[in-house]
Amino acid sequence: MKLSQSLLKNILESAIFASPSPLSVEELLSLFADEEKPTRQQIQTLIKELQNDYATRPLEVVEVASGYRFQVRAKFSPWISKMWQDKPPKLSRAMLETLAIIAYRQPVTRAEIEAIRGVVVSTQIIKALFDRDWIVVVGHREVPGRPALLATTREFLDAFSLKGLADLPPLAALRDLDTIEAELATTNRVEKE
Amino acid sequence: MKLSQSLLKNILESAIFASPSPLSVEELLSLFADEEKPTRQQIQTLIKELQNDYATRPLEVVEVASGYRFQVRAKFSPWISKMWQDKPPKLSRAMLETLAIIAYRQPVTRAEIEAIRGVVVSTQIIKALFDRDWIVVVGHREVPGRPALLATTREFLDAFSLKGLADLPPLAALRDLDTIEAELATTNRVEKE
Amino acid sequence: MTELVIDTPDDVLLDSQQALARVYDEFITQVPEDLYIPPDALAVFLEAFEGPLDLLLYLIRKQNLDILDIPIAEITRQYISYIELMQELNIDLAAEYLLMAALLAEIKSRLLLPKPKNPEAEEEDPRAELIRRLQEYERFKKAAEDLGDLPQEGRDIFLTHVEPPVRELLATEPFVGDFSLLLEAMRDVLQRAQLQKSHIIAEEGLSLEQRFREVLARLASGETVIFYELFTVKEGRIGVVVTFMAILELLKQKMIELVQESVFAPIYVREYRELA
């Protein structure tokens, strides 16, 4: 069944809005089932139309290397930027915990972080930490798979106003990790969800 | 200098779009310098207007616990969901039950959850809930062991599109014990081995 | 929940007259008729339940009974048959299921006791507590279903992602935060580790490589450390040995150096400094 032009345009618009990263024409095509799939040409025409529709709006559809995305027009930046000025970007709990474990346990593999946190560490988190230059790969653990060993960087220390790793508050102040692990080992039992 | 209504509306619209999390009226107010600051009333009126403007668009402005956000209308979900290779993991019954007990009974300890469910609450579940930022420790019950008191967060409400705890589906009423006892007395004679 | 197959293929079941299970000193040679579920399905069946209360609710609801109106003897018999059967088939059974079986048996026996004539000594109906728990559990079971039906972000609801306006400041704006954030996160990890008794962590040996980094990190800011401060007594002999080996190796690689002002003066360790 062919979709109407207006439905098609609405789908493209929603998809570009919903995607966390820019969408290419290929990716847009992949949203449609075979029988409803538009042509590349159609998609490009509709995106042009969208760009016109948004000409008078505070957002614009821009094309970047990896595809199309919506962006707030530069003229609003004096107000929008206040959102980032007043408060530092909020780091997610999962990210902070991952970072804390790397800081205290470095060098450490992803699997080890997961063992401590008890949940899978998402690739996004690791990537975000790399993106901020807060962590680096310092080697590989010599076990099957040679997993990367992660450690924190000087940029990490700067971001958290630390002079050196020695400035990290001793974990003992919280409670010694090893003691806890020992306790855990003894109370360790199989549990299933 | 007072800003024109249309500029004001454009700023609000861009801000809600650009923010990674929902924006409250307070947060929207904080974007403006003192001399240009609109009233809360003005902001609320403009957001109502925005909601009307979007009535025929594929997006909508909705209010959740932590403020206003844009979201794609449900009718486009069939296409949008194709962008993600794997569906988000379905919440298990165990997780939903645990979450429900925390949501309706907060603050609550893990032991109290276990008492209601009649089974041990797996560590995985509690961790997964923490990891999604859906629950937090809000204190400790002053009993031996000082167990952590768990409560739900704004992020939990946002994730389920709720404005507040009052929006949770109503919990079924409990028939009180006196009634139960009375009824038991009458049904007792039916009991036979 | 899917309705279970309750067919009874007798030939499959009774290839011998061997007892399948023992319930109250009574050998069951036949699987209770309305209960029969193929062994494979039984494991699946058990997984379908969130615990003994859930299983009990299922048994009650299956017979269209009101919670307030449970025929304890009958339900107990059914429940215990399931449990015995599962044990017989070596299906892993959580302790809670057994506890419930014991509780049911106790309630049943109390109901069978003659009622005291003296009405003042009236006891609470032994079923009351169980009914209260069943009712309470059922409310939350329903609440969980309701919660699951709400539109969920990422499943039914998709949020928009719009790039903030271009602005040089945004790109260069550094993260400002202090360490208390991290510390808090770590405290939470530890707190949860305490909360969670069943956390499994593989014993991690002391690695020389890791110790290298620790020693270097300690000296990274250029500070000079008294030799013994590099050792952690708590780690025991092995820890001390590993640290010592690390120091020796780092010395050999000219990454650190030892300084001693005079004989018997304290030994200091610092990063290796190239002499000008």
Residue to substitute from B11, B14, B29, B73, interface A, most A β-carbons within 10 A: B14
Mean pLDDT of all residues in C29-40: 56
Tell whether the model's pLDDT for residue C7 goes beyond 50: no
Cα separations (Å) of B28 from B13, B18, B40, B164? 10, 12, 9, 20
Q: How far is CA C151 from the centre of its chain?
A: 27
Tell whether the model's pLDDT for residue C115 goes beyond 80: no
Please tell me the least confidently modeled range out of B28-37, B42-51, C58-67, C130-139. Answer: C58-67
Nearest in space to A83 (alpha carbons), one of B61, B5, B28, C166: B28
pLDDT of residue C141: 93
Cα separations (Å) of B69 from A161, B7, C5? 34, 19, 48
Mean pLDDT of all residues in C247-252: 78
Mean pLDDT of all residues in A145-160: 86
Widest CA span in chain B: 86
> Within chain A, where are the H helices?
5-18, 25-29, 40-53, 77-80, 82-85, 93-105, 110-117, 123-131, 154-159, 177-187
Which pLDDT tens digit goes with each residue over B162-191?
999 999 998 887 666 566 566 656 555 444
pLDDT of residue A17: 95
Tell whether the model's pLDDT for residue B60 goes beyond 70: yes
Give the whole-angstrom CA distance, residue C52 versus residue B27: 48
CB A136 within 8 Å of CB A151? yes
Highest mean pLDDT among A156-170, B86-100, B115-129, C17-31: B115-129
Q: Could you tell me the sign of the dihedral formed by the alpha carbons of B134, B136, B138, B140, in that order?
A: positive
pLDDT of residue A39: 94
Phi-psi region of B154 (alpha: psi -120 to 50; beta: other; left: phi over 0): alpha
Tell whether the model's pLDDT for residue A25 goes beyond 50: yes
**C200, two tokens:** 């499994």
- A157 or A189: whose pLDDT is higher? A157
- A50 or C93: whose pLDDT is higher? A50
B117 neighbourhood in chain C, CB within 8 Å: 50-51, 53, 137, 140
Give the whole-angstrom CA distance, residue C76 versus residue C83: 10
**Model ipTM?**
0.67
Cβ contact A96–C181 (<8 Å): yes
- C183 or A95: whose pLDDT is higher? A95
Tell whether the model's pLDDT for residue C261 goes beyond 50: yes
- A81 or C261: whose pLDDT is higher? A81
Mean pLDDT of all residues in C106-112: 82
Measured between CA atoms, the residue of chain B closest to residue A86 is B30
Q: What are phi and psi of B81, to 5 degrees?
A: -65, -15
pLDDT of residue C196: 41
CB B113 within 8 Å of CB B102? yes
Mean pLDDT of all residues in B143-158: 94
Cβ contact B80–A18 (<8 Å): yes
Give the whole-angstrom CA distance, residue C186 versus residue C178: 14
Q: What are phi and psi of A20, to 5 degrees?
A: -70, -15
Please tell me the least confidently modeled range out of A105-114, B66-75, B105-114. Answer: A105-114
CB C258 within 8 Å of CB C219? no
Cβ contact C160–B160 (<8 Å): no
- B102 or A75: whose pLDDT is higher? B102
pLDDT of residue C90: 72
pLDDT of residue A82: 83
CB A99 within 8 Å of CB A156? yes
B110: nearest CB among C111, C139, C195: C195
Please tell me the least confidently modeled range out of A141-145, A163-167, B133-137. Answer: A163-167
Residue C261 is given by DSSP the state: S
On the 0-12 / 13-18 / 19+ scale of CB atoms within 10 A, A86 is: exposed
**CA neighbours within 13 Å on the CB side: how many for B151?**
11
Q: Band the pLDDT of A48: cuts 50, 70, 90.
A: very high
Percent of chain A at pLDDT above 70?
83
- C2 or A131: whose pLDDT is higher? A131
C71 touching B (Cβ < 8 Å): yes
Cβ contact A17–B122 (<8 Å): no
CA of C203, closest CA in chain A: separation in Å? 8
Please tell me the least confidently modeled range out of B81-95, C7-21, C119-133, C198-212. Answer: C7-21
- C121 or A9: whose pLDDT is higher? A9
Percent of chain C at pLDDT above 90?
6
Tell whether the model's pLDDT for residue C113 goes beyond 90: no
A164: nearest CB among C169, C187, C221: C221
Give counts: helices (H), strands (E), chain C: 10, 6
pLDDT of residue B20: 87
Helix (H, G, I), strand (E, B) or coil at B167: helix
pLDDT of residue A70: 93
Highest mean pLDDT among A8-22, C215-229, C241-255: A8-22
pLDDT of residue A91: 74
Mean pLDDT of all residues in A148-167: 82
Give the whole-angstrom CA distance, residue A113 versus residue A129: 14
Tell whether the model's pLDDT for residue C197 goes beyond 50: no
Angle in degrees, CA A80, A85, A86, rounded to 5: 110
pLDDT of residue C137: 93
Mean pLDDT of all residues in A54-61: 94
Percent of chain C at pLDDT above 70?
61
A17: nearest CB among B27, B72, B131: B72
- C66 or B191: whose pLDDT is higher? C66
Which pLDDT tens digit goes with each residue over C177-186?
455 655 666 6
Give the whole-angstrom CA distance, residue A158 versus residue A160: 5
C194 touching A (Cβ < 8 Å): yes
C-alpha radius of gyration, chain A, whole number:
24
Give the whole-angstrom CA distance, residue A106 versus residue C212: 11
- C187 or B92: whose pLDDT is higher? B92
Number of Cβ within a 10 Å radius of residue C89 = 14
Tell whether the model's pLDDT for residue A153 goes beyond 80: yes
> At C115, which amino acid appears?
K
pLDDT of residue C30: 52
A76: nearest CB among C165, C184, C188: C165
Residue entry with tokens 């050998």: C27
Average pLDDT over chain C reads 70
**B131, two tokens:** 């990891």
Tell whether the model's pLDDT for residue A50 goes beyond 90: yes
Tell whether the model's pLDDT for residue C194 goes beyond 60: no
Q: Band the pLDDT of A6: cuts 50, 70, 90.
A: very high
Measured between CA atoms, the residue of chain A closest to residue B92 is A193
Cβ contact C186–A175 (<8 Å): no
End-to-end Cα separation, chain B, in angstroms: 86
Q: Is the peptide bond before C116 cis (omega within 30 degrees of 0)?
A: no
Percent of chain B at pLDDT above 90?
70
Tell whether the model's pLDDT for residue C203 goes beyond 70: no
Mean pLDDT of all residues in C198-216: 66
Mean pLDDT of all residues in C58-87: 82
pTM of the model: 0.62
Which pLDDT tens digit goes with each residue over B29-54?
999 999 999 999 999 999 999 999 99
> Within C89-207, where are the H helices?
95-112, 127-149, 168-172, 179-195
Give the whole-angstrom CA distance, residue B17 versus residue B11: 10
Cα separations (Å) of B99 from B136, B157, B168, C98, C265? 12, 12, 12, 26, 62
Q: Band the pLDDT of C174: cuts 50, 70, 90.
A: very low
